[in-house]
Structure 1
Amino acid sequence: MSIIHSGIPNNSRVNSLSISKHISIESLTFQQISTFCHVYEHGGYAGAAEALGMAGPTIWEHVKTLERLYQTKLFDRAGRNIVPTSNGNELYEMLRPLLTGVASTFDRMAERNDRLDTELRIVTGVRMMLEELAAPLRRFQQAYPKAKIRIRNADNVIAQQWILEDQVDLALMIEPPRQARDTKIHYESLYPLEYLVALPSRHRLSRQTKVHLVDLIEEPLIIGSSHSIGRRQIEQAYFRLGISEPLNVVVETDNSAVTLACVRAGLGVGMIAGHPRGHLTTSIKTRSIADEVGHVRVVAAYRKGRLLTDALLTLIDRIRA
């Protein structure tokens, strides 16, 4: 008769696994991780070799070494190209933040030793820059008088792309819906905005203290393009309320500052996410439609795994405050 003690581990097997795991960790190098991530991002060995300035066979060997260490296949051949396996996808999601984190330690240490020429590369929206960021940026400059700030304008899609391409350090933008977020980006909540109707000063609806979406059915609307977050939320609100009439869109814009300029020019009624008392609306009447459409939040977005410098942390704190 054989007796199996299921609750007592086999010490020799546990020790063997621990030794094997230790050997794998000791054999894993930062260069191999970097090579694997570049092959993944470039979709092949040739692109990774060019980006890293390394020979193709070396790139190939690094990937094969990782496959041996993890005992799994990371890429499959698809014609003349390679595609990641499901395990390759999962490993990339785990290793890429580590690679980003290690790379950012150089800036952290340089800042600690006062060797870092502080330059912050930011992407944001025009309305946000004009109405909300001026004061926080001024306070940041007082704390870091020698810092250089580069500001670019883009929508959410381009902003996230620039983060992943390391063209910017920080994106300040409307929080994207879950399905539009990138798993390689960290999103940090900053402050709320509400949805507003922007009316020409003498518009008939400006005499009402409250404006509803049903009041806007026949109005010529100035609104974000079909792929924008605000447009989708407004259309969803119409659907929830059972309003079946199509929106009478006369102008589509790619940012709220342009929408307000069009309202000021008398082209129609605008719908934006913003502040009711922003200085861009001084000659325009605004009414909140947050009860029907809801609120959104502005977020600070940066590459997942990145260790932020004190300067970037200070800037985010100034904006949140």
Structure 2
Amino acid sequence: MSLAPRIVLVHRTTEYEELVAHHGTHGQAAFFLSSRGRDIEEVAERHRRTRRALSDVTAAIPLTWRQSRVERADLDRFLFAPEDVVVVVGQDGLVANVAKYLSGQPVVGIDADPGRNAGVLVRHRPADAPRLLPAALATGTGTGTGTEELTMVEAVADDTQRLLALNEIYVGAAGHQTARYRLGVERDEASKPQASSEPQASSEPQTSFEAQASSGVLVGTGTGATGWIRSVWQERGNPLPLPRPTEDRLVWCVREAWPSPTTGTSQVAGQLSATSHLTLTAESERLIAFGDGMEGDALELTWGQSVRVGVCGRRLRLVG
């Protein structure tokens, strides 16, 4: 006999809950905000909307189905099952936070506070849950349609540390200070920044290396092209098109590369195909790599260690 379907509700602590936990009571939190010209009612109303959204989605789960809840801070300790349907109630960033812990489970993004979120990943309203949950379950069992397979990026260190992200991976110094490293770009025909009219001697991938000093390197996906990587890309005025969320292509940028007698700036931006990688070898005492802005969950590199960043074989299955 097979188990009943399980819905995993992913949420995060609200700003109101964080304030009350920090100050002890509602009144003390209200006094703190008022002393800075803010009204706690604004924060409390967002908290109530989030809780209503969670209640509405919970009410839409059939009584015969199983359900679990996990807070964002506990994601690294939660065991997702292959047959789970994951429902994220919150912001776009919360979908990115959960993506690296999944392995093909369908994800439904519910916008808990419409109007404040861009809705790139949380595309649905709580009232849509009764229709979405059966559809997501059918998708998870292979009988449904209507999902997007969003490309992810991964970083793998030479000591087997591995990091996945949905938006982007940053490699550099902790605190975004000057990082020193050697950067190598493995290029194939699909990942060259622009077509060349010169004849090619070989179609084999080529790798070139350059010593650099910068405030870090960003490698982003098409989903990340709506966020951090986009701001850097636009600032550069780069003519290369940003990838689509489902496209097996990444873009990368070196932030504030510094030219010196020992460091260069000839490789500061480009794209990676599904078979290409960006390799960084640390020439600083400590470098870190983190994904989707979560600096607390980073892999560390010491002098001489290398990390390869490229398209991840895993995808995020986002429903509708």
The interval holding the TM-score normalised by the smaller chain is under 0.3
TM-score normalised to structure 1 length: 0.27
Determine which structure has the larger helix proportion and give its number: 1
> Which has the larger Rg?
1
Determine which structure has the larger strand proportion and give its number: 2
User: Larger relative CO (CA 8 A, sep 6+): 1 or 2?
Assistant: 1
